[in-house]
Amino acid sequence: MAEFHIQHITRYSYPSTVIDCTNQIILYPVNDALQEVKNHEIRITNDPEVEIFTDYFGNRIGVFSIIQPHNTLTIESDFDAITHPLVFPADNQPVSDQWEELARSVETVPYMDFLQTDVFPGFENMKEILHQIVNKDKGPLTNALVLSEYVFDHFEYKKGVTNVETKVEEILKLKAGVCQDFAHVLLVMLHMMGIPARYVSGYICPKNHELRGEGATHAWVEAYIPYFGWLGLDPTNNCIVNDRHIRLAVGRSFTDCTPVKGTYKGSSEHTLEVSVSIDNGHIRTPEEKAAVASFSYTTKNPGISNNSYRRYLEMQQQQQ
């Protein structure tokens, strides 16, 4: 069992007054047998009423509006989480039964939503790679682990060469990227193998600084394993997700899990600042508090649609 306190602050600043601000937030961590959420508070500028609903993928979504004029918008999420170690799946069911169950999932809700892959440039080359490394005489779990290891071994963890809108075919050419890229490549490979897989957003918690992406927002994959369920795979760190990962949301890709997005009336120029602080049980010193990562992005493109939270993630990827 591990305990963490997470503070995630998002702040928008505008050079002139804006009005009619409406936002969607996906900042509600999963609460289940592996992850207990305690004392969760969300504080928002002007204290608007937040309407909460559950989306198609099971994520809790908050929606709020600020009608009155304002120059800043701050969204602060604070919560404590207790995580429990995963009981690893026993891969002891007949292999043929497992693949047959996955074959039936193609037309089964909700798995069918996590099997869709469009043909893209490089699709045939990817098929050849899968032909070389996948062994259908082995079970889906063994092959999923092999695919995660392949991404870890063959893609360089490199900041600044991609952004959150980079397509899979570009990542395959670059053979490099960060956590979102690793997750998207593994998703495609699992889908092509007929293994349902979904994108996961969340946090990876610090311990000995041996994992990439510690102390910030993170992304990984969950693969559906017959007779077990959804299993988290982190290709960025070549590990099975356990009690160091905190899950926020799942979806088909990053687009389904964007932490904050919205619209407002006013100048499109604005500055976005985001900080994520994760405490693992000890009281931070002033020096540690000052070292908490904070990323900012300023947009100066009037009239152009621009999801600045996506840009923030790009900035974060370049500085991790």
**How high is the pLDDT of residue 146?**
97
Phi/psi for 223 (5° steps) reads: -105, 145
**How high is the pLDDT of residue 120?**
86
Percent of the chain with pLDDT over 70: 87
What is the mean pLDDT of the segment spanning 17-21?
95
For the cut 70, the answer to whether the pLDDT of residue 107 exceeds it is yes
**How high is the pLDDT of residue 109?**
87
| Domains along the sequence of the chain with CATH | 2-84+259-319 (2.60.40.2250), 95-256 (3.10.620.30)
- Residue with the bigger pLDDT between 42 and 297: it is 42
**How high is the pLDDT of residue 102?**
95
pTM for the model: 0.87
